Structure 1
């Protein structure tokens, strides 16, 4: 990752993660701005707004963590809990592809919203958050798990990195709907999401505990301390001043936000990492999945003379004639 010297942008930088460092505070961090990608991702589903907001937070968190890991493969963030939103799955495929879906109890979500209990921690309830690195068939999978005990995704991420990675970490996530107008169309509301990810990584020759996952942006030979160093206290205080609108406003670039936060200390930015919304499903992969079932199981899949499968991530519907699989067996 090489630093670049470019002027602050007034706007732009959507659908990208901007890595940065604040050497005076021993900080490494990332800012993510999601515009058209998160709007397209959520637009593929008919989720209630409260569920869309929660899923967008999970997508922003996944982008911040996934792009920090030096690997080729997938990073998966998944929650499983007893709240109105029982499961979130966000799949990041290096270097840039995101897809996501949610499972929820519609009645329970509606009741929570009506009662004013639609915060992320209310919707998640109790359970666990798993973060998995899958580097392919010939490499070991690594997974870290943190308890969801009435905490938000931000708080769960703090707990994971402190307990499992022993890296002091601060995460800020924000989601908003903004009014937008496409040429020749009526104004509509579009989803946006943003996030800030900070890690305190002072130079040290000692390692501080076992890490379940790759330590992300930490350079070789750099470890972390869990002590409340003055620099880390300052960094947390600065991060605490960030407002949701600064993370989601399309007219405030990531560079502008960093300047507002760290202009007295100086921040170095690196090459931005673009992000796209893309599902990995295809007709061939779905057909292969159906073919893996026994003939008797496929008979149970037939409705009105066809076998239909809808991708849970992108809502694409695939339709097959059962005779296609009889040909494959012959």
Structure 2
């Protein structure tokens, strides 16, 4: 998506997550719009456009899920696969910061560009997607894993909710760019809707097929991918499927306005937005601690001719340089 827009007022609508509920349909959800934060991340690494698009989707998905945390903790999305994008990591630190990085297999990416195999599923290939919730201790760490079989991130997220959370959910993700007076800028957006009825009976999957029926008797198949037969969920799911990419990316369309378009007949209630920002967790102290965790032989191999050890953060590209004596003296003190 590309459009000429005025930049005034756009920032106020970006980099925020709007939680909402629609009581008449027993659903809750969130809408995310990422502007300058995702543009900073993608621009910093100068990823090829197809890779930037997939990492933007992963960032929008991570922020949607991470902002649901009710505690000071960390939510991480990570993929590892055999495709041109061999790995992605998106970290969300509650309540409001995230960072992201992608690793590219250049030979496979060149082949994909030549053949035009550039969908999210084709770029990821086969492998796994892991979503990890970490409250700060090993005992409070939870991880759900989904197989990647050349499907997109939306479908992978649906699989995650079906098998790990067992909550009927629908997710829409979109990534694109706009043209402003300051040049081209990346944007990402996402919508998450979950079916949360008060009665647990409404979450039960339909009965198994009864087998051969008497001649002339028609059995109505349940076509809901979640196996849920509920009119409210069917309506909510259908409405989500009408959302178009440009509606998630339009910098002049408020999230609240989008929700009104979708649910005005039912009445959506919105809550205080969560403002998010791009920020890295790296620091000189963290990197120094990492270096001291290597063996003596490995540290010696890292020392440059000038007697320093240099480390570049793969997330934010910040460069840290240490004197070899600084690393070793700290070990001696310990």
The TM-score with structure 1 as length reference comes to 0.87
Distance 1:191 1:35 in 2: 7
In the alignment, what sits opposite 2:18? 18
- Give CA deviations for 1:168-208 in whole Å, capped at 9, x if unaligned: 11000000111122xxxxx4111100000011111125697
* 1:131 and 2:114 correspond: no
Root-mean-square deviation (CA, aligned residues, Å) is 1.9
Query: 165, 170, 195: which one pairs with 1:200?
Result: 195
Other structure's SS at 2:199 match: coil
* 1:271 and 2:272 correspond: yes
In the alignment, what sits opposite 1:74? 74
Greater displacement, 288-297 / 31-40: 288-297
Unaligned runs of 5+ in 1: 1-8, 182-186, 210-224
Distance 1:249 1:71 in 2: 31
Unaligned runs of 5+ in 2: 1-8, 205-225
Query: 284, 303, 313: which one pairs with 1:311?
Result: 313
Contact 2:63 2:92 in 1 (8 A): yes
* 1:147 and 2:147 correspond: yes
Contact 1:11 1:251 in 2 (8 A): no
In the alignment, what sits opposite 1:103? 103
Q: Normalized per residue, which structure has more helix?
A: 2
Distance 2:305 2:183 in 1: 37
In the alignment, what sits opposite 2:186? 191
Distance 1:11 1:39 in 2: 12
In the alignment, what sits opposite 2:326? 324
Greater displacement, 137-146 / 269-278: 137-146
Contact 1:35 1:191 in 2 (8 A): yes
Distance 1:325 1:206 in 2: 60
Distance 1:252 1:82 in 2: 38
Displacement of 1:235 in angstroms is 1.1
Structure 1's consecutive aligned runs of 4 or more residues displaced over 3 angstroms after TM superposition are 9-12, 205-209
Distance 2:296 2:190 in 1: 48
Contact 2:91 2:100 in 1 (8 A): yes
Distance 1:202 1:11 in 2: 35
Other structure's SS at 2:110 match: helix
* 1:242 and 2:243 correspond: yes
In the alignment, what sits opposite 1:28? 28
Contact 1:78 1:88 in 2 (8 A): yes
Distance 1:11 1:242 in 2: 22
Greater displacement, 30-39 / 292-301: 292-301
Distance 2:202 2:143 in 1: 20
